[in-house]
A and B are shown apart, each in its own frame.
Chain A
Amino acid sequence: MPVSITSSQLIYDSLKACGITILSALPETWLVHLIRMAEEDPAMTLVRLAKEEEGVGISAGAHLAGAKSAMLMQNHGLLQSINGIVSLTRLYRIPLLMLISYRGEFGERDPWQTEGGGVTEAVLQTLAVPFARLDEPGHVAARIHKAQTLADSSLKPVALLLCRDLMWEE
């Protein structure tokens, strides 16, 4: 499976450097190494979800309890999480760091991923969620750190889009 281990490790290390101690996740192909790293890390609490919106609630609870957390999901998981993002994190001004694998972009071969890919950025814009792309290793650590900083200062959700060029090695 040509999911980049190097990039996954870089992302994981950057999350750790931000003090993330709880990761909630729903598996998807590009996230396999990240989820395994969280699973093997005794200092990380990994919460495997049944549906992504649960992760919004878990992160909100963790924040109010003083713990730093992040969500790992596919962009279709973002679509599943919209009410939680609006009616919990935005309504109650709660920071939320979302790492979203950006399926269905240029280069996508799976037909079933393409509709979600086409609406991802428009949905984030409509929700007024600031987002940035992670598409090359050089800016991963800095962008994750800056995203976390903005989430904490604005008390709002932010998103990082994990892109094909970073996650997939052809």
Chain B
Amino acid sequence: MLRMDAMRAIYPQLERCVVVTIMGATAAELQALGHRPNFFYLQHAMGLASSMGLGIALSRPELKVVVLDGDGSVLMNLGGLTTLARYRPPNLVHVIFDNESLLSVGGFPTATASGSDLAGIAAAAGITRAISVRALDAFAVAFEEAIATNELSVIVAKVDAVGPRAFVTDLPLLENRFQFARYLKQRGQADQGRLPQESAT
């Protein structure tokens, strides 16, 4: 499975979600599919995309938050899986694209290349909905189920170690950051406006 194809398969469903991606190929490929104001690309601070997703999910339980993570990043913050398991925000879907490689920095193998099982680690951390998929159709089904359910989900998608030639896009980091925050603010105001009178108090 190509990560690009996997993201293309779920792209329509990301429109109503709040999306946080990691750096490098994942960020560049999602932008190639089409940037949206509800997408935030964490272009550094490896490991913290899932922590950001947790912060957003806890702050805004009415939103569905999707983290598009990678094996290299998750391996830098394995403890974060135990924190996710502890608070298990039902509105968080944690996708880990596992290409068994630090592709963006030279393609050196990660520990998943020699057998470390991220879905197994997530499950052992206490995340009960944690699966690993290898085929595109299985990924699409798993993602759709994760979006539909009201339970923290981890999906490890085994993908090929290929990516785009370049990682720098024409979206400046700060433009992305302020646009994303503004989207979340306006989405909150719009949702507030739709609430019935009695529950708005």
Interface set of A (CB-CB < 8 Å, partner B): 21-22, 45, 47-51, 53-67, 69, 83-84, 87-88, 91-94
Contacts and interface: CB of A to CB of B under 8 A. Distances in A.
Contacts of A45: 58
Contact of A47 (B42, B52, B79, B87): B87
Nearest to B81: A50
Interface string B163-201: 000000000011001001100110010000000000000
B44 A62 contact: no
Contact of A57 (B54, B59, B174, B177): B54
Contacts of A88: 42, 44-45, 48, 52
A54 B83 contact: yes
A49 B181 CA distance: 24
The main secondary structure of chain B at its interface with chain A is: helix
Given A53-B48, A65-B56, A91-B43, 5 more contacts: A22-B55, A48-B86, A58-B51, A66-B60, A83-B45
B49 interface: yes
Interface residues of B, number: 37
A57 B50 contact: yes
B54 A91 contact: no
A54 B58 contact: no
B77 interface: yes
A92 B56 CA distance: 16
A65 B174 contact: no
Nearest to B181: A64
Contacts of B86: 48
A96 to B, nearest CB: 11
Given A54-B80, A57-B51, A58-B54, A91 B59 contact: no
